[in-house]
Structure 1
């Protein structure tokens, strides 16, 4: 009898132990999520001096004809209105290229991941090449698209602290690095459809279109969870990532590194007026640089400013998807003023902790700024970040 009781107790102990071990995985994820949140939570709250300050930016909770957005149910119509208006102003996209996959050109096994050179069609009339980095292992993984002047920098072959694709693959993300290599060499930088001589869509919007096509190609990869794909870019790439994530709602979240998130004609790098962004006009182009009487701007940009549009309207298209502004010299803490408008939209929708900004003095990213970027992606994509009440 003693041995039977002993065996019973031992069996119960082993059963309880098995339950404990079985529960350890989700508990471990919960603890990791909590740990990461403790690192980044403070970046979701504006400094006291900017809290509740909406500046002179047009209200997002008011239709263009003056009607108010009063309830959560009113928002989809207002969101569609913003999207439609900006699409009309910038030019409608061609049909998305959804029926394609990444074509592998070559591959190299690196420590902990495999690097593939790939190509796909990102415009109806143009293919591009980039780099797909895949962590070892067959499990389905979150993914991030990195965009810049060329695809090499993000995989570690370029300026420091811009190697987003490399650092994220080391953290378990599939990454796709893209860039406008030939256009950057030619100093035309962007994408022009159907041609640079007669573009029908503002070039910055076409960059967003290309990223949307990249999403469709990446989403078809067997080891990618299509519900957990984000996008990141710095400077030129930050503008690209911002327009891509706001205009294409399948991106689960986004990081915009110091693009200049609203119009600011006092800052030479917040240069949305240039012909490769929102100021397209046929060549010969205006002389690159600040707006002056001798060097005025033409194209869409001056109309946007004159009619009171600003990029905070596009930010709102993210709601309730989370985004982080990794701010530097072009996006100082005062950028919380336009960001407050999107916070207000999220409040209406019943979400909090969806808009974040970190700040550094310099335009260039640094180790501390990038750690916030990687933790942000880990929280929302790797550990399915939840609302923290």
Structure 2
């Protein structure tokens, strides 16, 4: 077992990111909708049924697919949702639509806490997600909220690995904000992810809300930091992007601590804040496309 394997196992144990005992996958039949092929995917984990959205451009198969975790899947396709009633808000959150336009397949994965809390009348984080996260911890005290998220994403990759229209050697991951956190952890701990982008994840336990109950809660480590996660992605390519809000000059040194001569970590900083500008979104999509090229 390599040093990376040992470190990866330690993080999985720390998170409690083992597969749920009731983990199950159901993949439906291929459907064609105009210029898009769709395959229904459902997963069950910790008693919760989640509907994932797999969309593939018409063209050659098998094709690369980007796993795209976020609060809900509707907004990723430019649709209104309970959390995001204005699908035309700017900057855009229609990341999936942009990826499909660029010729990449997308698996949009909703966040378990938002799925449970979707009817909550508030968008304030602790009021919306605190109760469902605390309930999860009561039921599964060895599984952090973040560990549950990572295990769900590993289940999503399991689903992709058995779909013949998907090139299982060209699975990427992309995440912004919450999704950036999930992209960082899932790509570090699942070596089937061939390339990853994380935008504004809040790298470093001192730089974001990692102690919230839907992430680590009271189990934030004090003897290690998130440069280890970047290092676990390498030598697979990862693009770490900060907008000067959660990520920027204040945690650049932590990111650079992960660099080595054989790593493929790339950094990009902009000064436009936490939202993801459309021009940079397209730049990141091109980056993923090149890294996943056959």
Taking structure 1 as the reference length, the TM-score comes to 0.64
| Equivalent residue number for residue 320 of structure 1 | 235
Could you list the per-position Cα deviations for residues 159-211 of structure 1 after superposition, in whole angstroms to 9, with x for gaps in the alignment?
44222211111111111111124234242279869944232211112111101
| Equivalent residue number for residue 183 of structure 1 | 116
8 Å CA contact 2:238–2:264 kept in 1: the answer is no
Q: Say which of 273, 285, 289 aligns to 1:374.
A: 285
3-state DSSP class of the match of 1:361? Answer: coil
Query: In 1, Cα distance between the equivalents of 2:231 and 2:116?
Result: 30
Could you list the per-position Cα deviations for residues 202-254 of structure 1 after superposition, in whole angstroms to 9, with x for gaps in the alignment?
11121111011101112222221000001112111111111111111111111
CA radius of gyration, larger in:
1
* Corresponding residue pairs, total: 273
3-state DSSP class of the match of 1:127? Answer: strand
Q: Which consecutive unaligned segments of at least 5 residues does structure 1 have?
A: 1-75, 280-298, 385-389
8 Å CA contact 2:235–2:264 kept in 1: the answer is no
Could you list the per-position Cα deviations for residues 110-139 of structure 1 after superposition, in whole angstroms to 9, with x for gaps in the alignment?
4x32345x3422415332112221111243
> Structure 1 residue 370: deviation in Å?
0.6
Taking structure 2 as the reference length, the TM-score comes to 0.82
3-state DSSP class of the match of 2:204? Answer: coil
Query: In 2, Cα distance between the equivalents of 1:374 and 1:362?
Result: 19
8 Å CA contact 2:76–2:108 kept in 1: the answer is yes
| Equivalent residue number for residue 264 of structure 1 | 206
Query: In 2, Cα distance between the equivalents of 1:96 and 1:355?
Result: 37
8 Å CA contact 1:343–1:355 kept in 2: the answer is no
Matched, 1:139 2:61: yes
Could you list the per-position Cα deviations for residues 270-309 of structure 1 after superposition, in whole angstroms to 9, with x for gaps in the alignment?
1001011100xxxxxxxxxxxxxxxxxxx212xx13xx22
Greater helix share, 1 or 2? 1
Query: In 1, Cα distance between the equivalents of 2:134 and 2:41?
Result: 19
Greater strand share, 1 or 2? 2
8 Å CA contact 1:259–1:331 kept in 2: the answer is yes
Query: In 2, Cα distance between the equivalents of 1:99 and 1:276?
Result: 22
